[in-house]
Amino acid sequence: MEKNALETDIQFLPGVGPKRAALLRKELNVNTVGDLIKIYPFRYIDRSRIIMIKDAAPDMAYIQIKAEVAEINLYGPKGTGIDAADIKFNTVKRMGVKVTDGTGYMEMVFFKGIKWMHSKLKPGESYVFFGKPSIFNGHLNMVHPEVDSIPDSRTDGSRKEGFMNSSMTGVYPGTERLRNGGITGKVMNRLMENALTMALPYIEETLPKYLMIEKGLVPVHFAVRNIHFPKDTAALEKAKYRLKFEELFYLQLSLLKQKYIRRRNDNGIRMPKVGEAFNICYSSLPFSLTGAQKRVITEIRDDMKSGHQMNRLLQGDVGSGKTMVAVLTALIAVGNGFQACIMAPTEVLAQQHFKNISGYLSGTGVRTALLTGSTKASERRGIHEGLEDGSIGIIVGTHALFEDNVIFRNLGLAIIDEQHRFGVEQRARLWRKSSCGLDPHVLVMTATPIPRTLAMTLYGDLDVSVIDELPPGRKPIQTIAASESKRFALYRFMKDQIRLGRQIFVVYPLIFESEKLDYRNLETGYEQIVQAFPYPPYRTAIVHGKQSNEEKKFNMDAFAAGRADILVATSVIEVGVDVPNASVMVIESAERFGLSQLHQLRGRVGRGSEKSYCILMTGHKLSKDSKHRIDLMCATENGFELAEEDMKMRGPGDLEGTQQSGLPVELNIASLARDGLILNDARQCAQNVLDKDPSLSQPENRLLAEEIGKDKYKIRDYSRIS
């Protein structure tokens, strides 16, 4: 055995071997015994309870019955019976085992392992069968149940020692490949028992004693043993709490420590004044800023004059006025002699930002430019020169800003819109372009409302500002759900709106760019719209991901300029299209979208002074989750409420357009969706620890310093790449 059994290669765990090891590596990313122990059950089955056959029903989850084998029947390829006298197991396709417990009969059905199971089961003997009950041909059965012999009763009442001497059985994540490779639920439990027998003595405590006493946490040995093989429900709950708290505590401790380090760094660019351009722009605005916008600008201003690098996340619902905040923030940088860049994830959004910003800046004397992939070479030369000599104060762009030949004279501020669409390495390249020797201030903006628990984790070392107030005059959007039977009523409504001079989005789901069915739906939908709204007088444009940038721009521009009444599109228009005259958003197959995406799409309308509508078209048969999503959309326009619900339903990974690996540190047992209270407690606890010992250098915090020194906490975070 290796010095530390946790590091033992998984193939050397008894019961694994090379073939199963390869499967565990591929399917569950398990390479060592320690990795296996961190695969936790996602639910538990009470194996102590025996159900009577008369009480069993097909809508039950897994159940356990104790019954006697009454008869065994073997069936050939065509379902014909095979005489037990001349069995050839290679011709047997199915085995049916009729069992009874005196209250009724049930059939156990086997399609695999028939020869072995036939030798194990004896008529007249009793066994424990465990599986999912179902109905076939009017009769109750179980397909491939687990089968155990009934243990001999012991007169002294003693029981077998071992981890699996637990009435609760853990159910582990599994895949079809694992099951086909022989790693069933039962096998997984045996492997886990072997892993704990081998490695539990090597698991060391990872939390200081004072913290465990303060939070009432059980020791790590107790937690690991009882998370896999619970002694009882109370022990399981203690184990779960300990392991969840530990994961979330270390995640928050590592993020908050980064924040402490950053705040101790006095090398941030000091921007003490706002400058003349800021005052000119602010005083000439045709509207008043909301209280929330003013509060956020004050928070940003305090950061920029502090001498520390700003790393701030700006959250604001669709239409809350983030662009105006970005403009005024950029002008603070310009007013202090620095340049600012505003990055957008798409050309459409970059062009829209540039158009809006240019309007706000007229009269300030600040030179702005737009740099995207389609900027002409002749224009690029002038832009590159303007950035190098500092004459361009604010540059708006896409990924084109990352190119090596884009050099700034003194980049002091980077504003990143919808930042999760930009890669970490790309942003690192942008920071290196700052030639003034100091890290630029960073403002990350998102229109995707992020639940507080997720923001604390994805952006845990950023300061967070929220614009939680919509500009005055914005009317609520009326959201209506309708099924296919209302199609003609919908078309009448659309024609009425067009007669009033309004424009309409019709959006189709496109989950994967290559999915042919989605394109067929889009094309069929487009044809239906053109038939129902013929030219003249109606004009319809179409936008989707397979078009070239030129085609997309032509059609988008036609709609934005009012040359098209209807824009048929995929969710490519989710981010950035601003058409104040569009007052109706029709979302087809709305049940196929997540809540956050539906909310983003709805935010494309309601930008003008007219009453706006969002029509959610759905199929007749909706799943429970789909109906819940649609009902929520009709009930509220609050993006943060919807985001909280979305995370509960779909999980944090999907919400951000990433999988769970998108989180800074992998969570094995804690859930951001379900464990918000533990997360808040863990963060406060981490904050208290760092307030007393920011460097974690005191002897009682040795374990904490060792743990967050590990590679997994060296976070390539979303917020600051300097």
DSSP 261-290: HHHH---SPP-----HHHHHHHHT-SSPPP
Cβ burial, residue 680 (10 Å; 0-12/13-18/19+): middle
Mean pLDDT in residue range 262-272? 77
Q: In this structure, which amino acid lies at residue 126?
A: S
Cα separation of 578 and 626, whole Å?
Answer: 28
Q: Give 553's pLDDT tier (boundaries 50, 70, 90).
A: confident
Mean pLDDT in residue range 621-627? 86
Q: Give 68's pLDDT tier (boundaries 50, 70, 90).
A: very high
Task: Kindly state the percentage of the chain with pLDDT values over 70.
Answer: 85
Mean pLDDT in residue range 276-296? 92
Radius of gyration from C-alpha coordinates of the chain: 31
Res 424 pLDDT > 60: no
Cα separation of 268 and 147, whole Å?
Answer: 67
In 74-95, which positions are buried (b, 16+ CB within 10 angstroms) versus exposed (e)? bbeeeeeebeeeeeeeeebebb
- Of 450, 58, 14, 456, the closest CA to residue 192 belongs to 14
The two beta strands, 441-446 and 411-417, are parallel
Rounded to 10 degrees, what is the CA torsion of 688, 690, 693, 694?
Answer: -160
Which residues make beta-bridge pairs with 612?
477
**Consecutive H or E run containing 198:** helix 185-199
pLDDT in the model for residue 655: 39
Res 662 pLDDT > 60: no
Q: Is 457 left (phi over 0), alpha (psi -120 to 50) or beta?
A: alpha
Res 576 pLDDT > 80: no
User: pLDDT for 480-513, tens place per residue?
Assistant: 999 989 999 999 999 999 999 999 999 988 645 4
What six digits make up the tokens of 574? Answer: 């989710």
Interior angle at CA 674, CA 452 and CA 31, nearest 5: 105
Cα separation of 408 and 375, whole Å?
Answer: 18
Least confident of 91-105, 199-213, 353-367, 511-525: 511-525
Question: Which domains does the chain show, CATH number per domain?
Answer: 5-46+168-202 (1.10.150), 53-149 (2.40.50.140), 276-305+320-446 (3.40.50.300), 477-636 (3.40.50.300)
Cα separation of 565 and 532, whole Å?
Answer: 13
Q: Give 164's pLDDT tier (boundaries 50, 70, 90).
A: low
**Consecutive H or E run containing 323:** helix 322-335
Per the model's pLDDT, the better-predicted residue between 667 and 57 turns out to be 57
- Of 361, 403, 410, the closest CA to residue 380 belongs to 403
- Of 452, 461, 379, the closest CA to residue 652 belongs to 452
